[in-house]
Amino acid sequence: MNIIRTATLMALAFSAWAGPVQAQDEDIVDVAIGAGTFNTLVAAVQAADLVDALKGEGPFTVFAPTDEAFAALPEGTVESLLLPENKDQLTAILLYHVVAGSVLAADVVGLDSATTLNGAAIDISVSDSGVMINNANVVQADVAASNGVIHIIDAVLLPPSPTAVESSTWGTVKQQTR
Protein backbone atom coordinates (compact mmCIF):
# COMPACT_ATOMS: atom_id res chain seq x y z
CA MET A 1 0.00 0.00 0.00
CA ASN A 2 1.52 3.35 -0.92
CA ILE A 3 2.07 6.16 1.57
CA ILE A 4 -0.65 8.46 0.20
CA ARG A 5 -3.29 5.73 0.36
CA THR A 6 -2.24 4.77 3.90
CA ALA A 7 -2.35 8.40 5.05
CA THR A 8 -5.77 8.89 3.45
CA LEU A 9 -7.18 5.76 5.13
CA MET A 10 -5.75 6.82 8.49
CA ALA A 11 -7.21 10.31 8.10
CA LEU A 12 -10.64 8.91 7.30
CA ALA A 13 -10.51 6.46 10.19
CA PHE A 14 -9.32 9.13 12.60
CA SER A 15 -11.97 11.61 11.43
CA ALA A 16 -14.70 9.03 12.01
CA TRP A 17 -13.29 8.25 15.46
CA ALA A 18 -13.01 11.90 16.42
CA GLY A 19 -16.53 12.94 15.54
CA PRO A 20 -17.66 16.25 14.12
CA VAL A 21 -16.36 19.65 15.08
CA GLN A 22 -19.20 21.97 16.04
CA ALA A 23 -19.20 25.75 16.14
CA GLN A 24 -18.66 27.08 19.64
CA ASP A 25 -19.20 30.54 21.12
CA GLU A 26 -17.36 29.82 24.38
CA ASP A 27 -13.60 30.05 24.85
CA ILE A 28 -11.43 27.15 26.01
CA VAL A 29 -11.79 27.98 29.72
CA ASP A 30 -15.58 28.32 29.54
CA VAL A 31 -15.90 25.05 27.58
CA ALA A 32 -13.79 23.30 30.24
CA ILE A 33 -15.87 24.76 33.06
CA GLY A 34 -19.13 23.84 31.33
CA ALA A 35 -18.06 20.24 30.71
CA GLY A 36 -17.97 19.47 34.43
CA THR A 37 -15.18 16.89 34.02
CA PHE A 38 -12.25 19.30 34.20
CA ASN A 39 -12.66 20.75 37.71
CA THR A 40 -9.06 19.96 38.68
CA LEU A 41 -7.69 21.35 35.42
CA VAL A 42 -9.70 24.56 35.86
CA ALA A 43 -8.48 24.91 39.45
CA ALA A 44 -4.90 24.43 38.26
CA VAL A 45 -5.30 26.99 35.46
CA GLN A 46 -6.65 29.46 38.03
CA ALA A 47 -3.82 28.75 40.49
CA ALA A 48 -1.24 29.29 37.74
CA ASP A 49 -2.89 32.57 36.67
CA LEU A 50 -3.39 31.24 33.13
CA VAL A 51 -7.12 31.95 32.83
CA ASP A 52 -6.69 35.23 30.93
CA ALA A 53 -4.11 33.67 28.60
CA LEU A 54 -6.41 30.74 27.75
CA LYS A 55 -9.32 33.12 27.27
CA GLY A 56 -7.14 35.07 24.82
CA GLU A 57 -7.50 35.22 21.07
CA GLY A 58 -5.48 32.09 20.34
CA PRO A 59 -5.95 29.85 18.62
CA PHE A 60 -4.78 27.17 21.03
CA THR A 61 -4.89 23.40 21.06
CA VAL A 62 -5.31 22.06 24.59
CA PHE A 63 -4.77 18.44 25.56
CA ALA A 64 -7.09 18.44 28.57
CA PRO A 65 -6.72 15.78 31.27
CA THR A 66 -9.95 14.79 32.96
CA ASP A 67 -10.49 14.87 36.72
CA GLU A 68 -9.89 11.11 36.69
CA ALA A 69 -6.50 11.66 35.04
CA PHE A 70 -5.47 14.04 37.82
CA ALA A 71 -6.82 11.60 40.44
CA ALA A 72 -4.48 8.93 39.06
CA LEU A 73 -1.42 10.97 40.08
CA PRO A 74 0.28 9.96 43.33
CA GLU A 75 -1.61 11.06 46.43
CA GLY A 76 -0.92 14.67 47.39
CA THR A 77 0.56 15.64 43.99
CA VAL A 78 -2.29 17.90 42.89
CA GLU A 79 -2.59 19.54 46.28
CA SER A 80 1.15 20.21 46.32
CA LEU A 81 1.14 21.68 42.81
CA LEU A 82 -1.69 24.05 43.73
CA LEU A 83 0.38 25.65 46.50
CA PRO A 84 1.59 29.19 45.67
CA GLU A 85 5.23 28.20 46.11
CA ASN A 86 4.87 25.62 43.31
CA LYS A 87 3.29 27.98 40.79
CA ASP A 88 6.25 27.84 38.37
CA GLN A 89 6.18 24.04 38.30
CA LEU A 90 2.39 24.02 37.85
CA THR A 91 2.65 26.56 35.03
CA ALA A 92 5.30 24.44 33.27
CA ILE A 93 3.06 21.37 33.49
CA LEU A 94 -0.02 23.20 32.23
CA LEU A 95 1.82 24.84 29.33
CA TYR A 96 3.03 21.37 28.34
CA HIS A 97 -0.62 20.61 27.56
CA VAL A 98 -1.02 23.53 25.11
CA VAL A 99 0.12 23.94 21.50
CA ALA A 100 -0.12 27.24 19.61
CA GLY A 101 -2.60 27.07 16.75
CA SER A 102 -5.64 24.94 16.15
CA VAL A 103 -4.56 21.35 15.50
CA LEU A 104 -7.60 19.30 14.56
CA ALA A 105 -7.80 15.51 14.53
CA ALA A 106 -7.38 15.37 10.76
CA ASP A 107 -4.10 17.33 11.09
CA VAL A 108 -2.61 14.87 13.58
CA VAL A 109 -2.21 12.09 11.00
CA GLY A 110 0.82 13.85 9.53
CA LEU A 111 2.48 14.66 12.86
CA ASP A 112 4.78 12.69 15.13
CA SER A 113 5.46 15.55 17.57
CA ALA A 114 4.48 19.11 18.39
CA THR A 115 6.15 21.87 20.38
CA THR A 116 4.13 23.02 23.37
CA LEU A 117 3.95 26.48 24.95
CA ASN A 118 6.24 25.04 27.61
CA GLY A 119 8.92 24.91 24.90
CA ALA A 120 9.25 21.13 25.06
CA ALA A 121 7.91 18.70 22.48
CA ILE A 122 5.17 16.13 22.96
CA ASP A 123 5.18 12.84 21.06
CA ILE A 124 2.17 12.02 18.90
CA SER A 125 1.44 8.50 17.72
CA VAL A 126 -1.48 7.31 15.61
CA SER A 127 -2.42 3.64 15.39
CA ASP A 128 -5.45 1.49 14.74
CA SER A 129 -6.30 1.71 18.45
CA GLY A 130 -6.31 5.54 18.49
CA VAL A 131 -4.10 8.52 19.13
CA MET A 132 -1.62 8.92 21.95
CA ILE A 133 0.04 12.08 23.20
CA ASN A 134 3.12 10.84 25.08
CA ASN A 135 1.58 8.27 27.46
CA ALA A 136 -1.99 9.63 27.28
CA ASN A 137 -4.80 8.34 25.10
CA VAL A 138 -6.96 10.88 23.30
CA VAL A 139 -10.44 9.84 24.43
CA GLN A 140 -12.31 12.59 22.58
CA ALA A 141 -10.96 14.89 19.91
CA ASP A 142 -12.00 18.18 18.36
CA VAL A 143 -14.05 19.75 21.13
CA ALA A 144 -14.48 23.19 19.60
CA ALA A 145 -14.01 26.50 21.40
CA SER A 146 -14.10 30.03 20.06
CA ASN A 147 -10.32 30.37 20.47
CA GLY A 148 -9.15 26.87 19.61
CA VAL A 149 -9.79 23.21 20.15
CA ILE A 150 -9.65 20.78 23.07
CA HIS A 151 -8.62 17.13 22.85
CA ILE A 152 -9.58 15.20 25.98
CA ILE A 153 -6.86 12.89 27.32
CA ASP A 154 -6.81 10.23 30.04
CA ALA A 155 -3.49 11.10 31.72
CA VAL A 156 -1.61 14.17 32.87
CA LEU A 157 1.38 14.97 30.66
CA LEU A 158 4.56 15.60 32.61
CA PRO A 159 7.16 17.72 30.84
CA PRO A 160 10.87 17.21 30.92
CA SER A 161 12.51 19.31 33.61
CA PRO A 162 13.00 23.01 32.79
CA THR A 163 16.72 22.36 32.43
CA ALA A 164 15.94 20.14 29.44
CA VAL A 165 14.34 23.10 27.66
CA GLU A 166 16.56 25.81 26.27
CA SER A 167 16.75 28.56 28.86
CA SER A 168 15.93 31.26 26.31
CA THR A 169 12.75 29.40 25.30
CA TRP A 170 11.85 28.79 28.94
CA GLY A 171 12.26 32.50 29.74
CA THR A 172 10.12 33.48 26.75
CA VAL A 173 7.36 31.07 27.78
CA LYS A 174 7.39 32.39 31.35
CA GLN A 175 7.13 35.98 30.06
CA GLN A 176 4.20 35.09 27.79
CA THR A 177 2.20 33.66 30.69
CA ARG A 178 2.47 36.69 32.94
* Contacting residues for 111 by C-beta, under 8 A, at least 6 apart: 103, 124
The residue range of the domain holding 119 is 3-176
Residue 139, domain CATH: 2.30.180.10
Q: What is the dihedral of CA 95, 18, 70, 29, to 10 degrees?
A: 50
Q: Is the dihedral of CA 129, 135, 139, 141 positive or negative?
A: negative
Q: Can you tell me the distance from the alpha carbon of 178 to that of 175, in angstroms, rounded to the nearest whole number?
A: 6
Tens place of pLDDT for every residue, the chain, 178 residues? 333 333 433 443 343 334 334 446 899 999 999 999 999 999 999 999 999 999 999 899 999 999 999 999 999 999 999 999 999 999 999 999 999 999 999 988 789 999 999 999 999 999 888 999 999 999 999 999 999 999 999 999 999 865 443 333 333 333 333 3
Nearest Cα neighbor of 153 from 96, 102, 112, 100 is: 96
Say how many domains are in the chain.
Answer: 1
| pTM score of the predicted model | 0.78
